[in-house]
Structure 1
Amino acid sequence: MIKPMVSANQKAAWVIFRHNKGAMIGLIVLCFILIMALIGPWIAPYDPAHQFNTSILVPPIWNDAGNFQYFFGTDDLGRDMLSRLLYGARLSLQLTFMVVLIAAFIGIVIGAAAAFINPTLRSLLMRIMDLLLSFPSLLLAIAIVAIIGPGLPNAIYAVVIVLVPQFVRITQSSISEELNKDYVMAAKLDGAKRLRLLTHHVWPNIIPALIVQLTFSFSTALLDIAALGFLGLGAQPPMAEWGTMLSESRAFIQFAPWTMTLPGLAIFLTVLSINLVGDGVRDALDPRLNR
């Protein structure tokens, strides 16, 4: 029996990724953020909801009026910004991972089924997916939350719905492309059933495309969750979520800019590092670069 060739050798892919300076910088920054999110509750100096009534809008320590007791200063309610950023990292990244993994599971299952169903039903399903993909992800998420109501659970549902079509499309198109290749045709002639074709022949060769899609979906999910929180449609105060922190500090941007700059910078660095890693993964797994 003719067996499929794996599209990217793991060792060669790592060599290519390692020589991508932008991807390595992104990986280092992302690992640092993940570590801070994991150990945040243990290293945060204060409870993120605790209010120091005598320390309202204290600047960070690099400001002449700063106080070393509050490394990144405090917000308008006297809450320690460093503690809220650390707790916010954990919450924001937890939500992001949960949303992406749920969307990936649903999308991959639907996409795999679509590749084997009746062509008419597949065409109808793909047109629905294309319709959903034609809307900007944030706009579609806002529309969904506006229909089902604001709140963190509904924001999670909305972002999942927004991400599912991306995984359906990439899974269906990748499987359909593989099904037309010679090694699959040979397996069919050898009597392989659909399930075996998918698990033993097609699946190993579509994993790189799914990994790339998964990587970029993290940045999309993080931005959408933060944006919904900023608009008051996602996480609600006093939750220490980066988007909600941005929303709460809008009124103080002129005379207390750190309250908005710090969570905004956290979102920017996280999304940038994810995108840099995603670019590196895409280049490393591109078969044309690994021949």
Structure 2
Amino acid sequence: MIKRIGTANQKAAWAIYKQNKGALIGTAVLSVIMLMALIGPLLAPYDPAHQFNNKVLVPPIWSSAGDFNYFFGTDDLGRDLLSRLLHGARLSLQLTITVVLIAAISGIVIGAASAFLSPALRSLLMRIMDLLLSFPSLLLAIAIVAIIGPGLPNAIYAVIIVLIPQFVRITQSAISDELNKDYVMAARLDGAKRFRLLTHHVWPNIVPALIVQLTFSFSTALLDIAALGFLGLGAQPPMAEWGTMLSESRAFIQFAPWTMTLPGLAIFLTVLSINLVGDGVRDALDPRLNR
């Protein structure tokens, strides 16, 4: 019976999701970006770090001065931008997915464990999470990297730390709401222990909220990683990471705008598509929010 209800809910959620044109467009764009991240490096015409010294700042092929050997042109060091964008897609998305999954698992475990703490300890934990959430995520990530030092590994640690409180707070809040509902009270009166209440009754009902938070966290992580790279606190040259590519090309924005426009457009399209998908997922999993 439970399985049939779950399947029915999935079909209803998918029906609502399909009605959201923005979500479908976001899904299509994000699928293409992820495909490029997966197979793009195999299609890249050149090594992303290889420098063509006689082909510096070659414009894209749609320019009259473009060269068909360099579809998106080259940067100030003569590196092929198409190759760097394709390799950067894999690196940026790999970092984003890794960061979000680690933060989600850690935050959900901490948030769920808080249900077993005493009220005083639970309140202290939530106040700490609220304090961390009171700072903009990027500002907090910059502060953490400034303390532990610049570099890609430290930038990853910083973004993970920034994202964990979001999952702790939403997990704890969702569990608290469910524990006060009648069906949980009935199960408790029937003799169910707290661990069984969480795993068999509460958990299935908070999964939609966690999925929505997980979806939107991808865009936050991608932006923070790119911003740290742009500020020189994350990935370091010559790594083909989108934020680092923006940083390297900002001095050429006036006379070689494609060097900055293309990685910026890649970040914009990826974040936009993730947010469109997130909106669709939120409306599908909670029809009350569907307008």
Superposed, 1:72-83 pairs within 5 Å as 72-83=72-83
Distance 1:219 1:94 in 2: 13
Give 1:182's aligned residue.
182
Deviations 1:132-178 (A, max 9, x none): 00000000000000000000000000000000000000000001111
Q: TM-score, normalised by structure 2?
A: 0.96
Runs (5+) with no aligned partner, structure 1:
none
Distance 2:173 2:195 in 1: 17
Higher relative contact order (CA 8 A, sep 6+): 1
Give 1:126's aligned residue.
126
Give 2:248's aligned residue.
248
Q: Report the 3-state secondary structure (helix = DSSP H, G, I; strand = E; otherwise coil) of the residue aligned with 2:59.
A: coil
Superposed, 1:92-131 pairs within 5 Å as 92-131=92-131
Give 1:225's aligned residue.
225
Give 1:238's aligned residue.
238
Give 1:259's aligned residue.
259
Q: Does 1:270 align with 2:238?
A: no
Q: Report the 3-state secondary structure (helix = DSSP H, G, I; strand = E; otherwise coil) of the residue aligned with 1:9.
A: helix
- Output the amino acid matched with 2:145: V
Deviations 1:39-69 (A, max 9, x none): 0111001000011111000000000000000
Distance 1:37 1:90 in 2: 4
The Cα of 1:289 is off from its aligned counterpart by 6.4
The Cα of 1:271 is off from its aligned counterpart by 0.2
Give 1:34's aligned residue.
34
Superposed, 1:17-166 pairs within 5 Å as 17-166=17-166
Identity, % of aligned positions: 86
The Cα of 1:183 is off from its aligned counterpart by 1.1
Aligned length: 287
- Output the amino acid matched with 1:33: I
Distance 1:217 1:156 in 2: 14
Give 1:212's aligned residue.
212
Distance 1:19 1:37 in 2: 28
User: Which is helix-richer, 1 or 2?
Assistant: 2
The Cα of 1:186 is off from its aligned counterpart by 1.3
- Output the amino acid matched with 1:77: L
Contact 2:107 2:164 in 1 (8 A): yes
- Output the amino acid matched with 1:45: P
- Where does structure 1 differ by over 4 angstroms across 4 or more consecutive aligned residues? none
**Which stretch of the first structure deviates more once superposed, 261-270 or 280-289?**
280-289
The Cα of 1:252 is off from its aligned counterpart by 0.5
Give 1:170's aligned residue.
170
Query: Aligned-pair RMSD on alpha carbons?
Result: 1.5
The Cα of 1:287 is off from its aligned counterpart by 4.4
Deviations 1:267-291 (A, max 9, x none): 000000000000010011114369x
Distance 1:194 1:155 in 2: 37
- Output the amino acid matched with 2:190: D
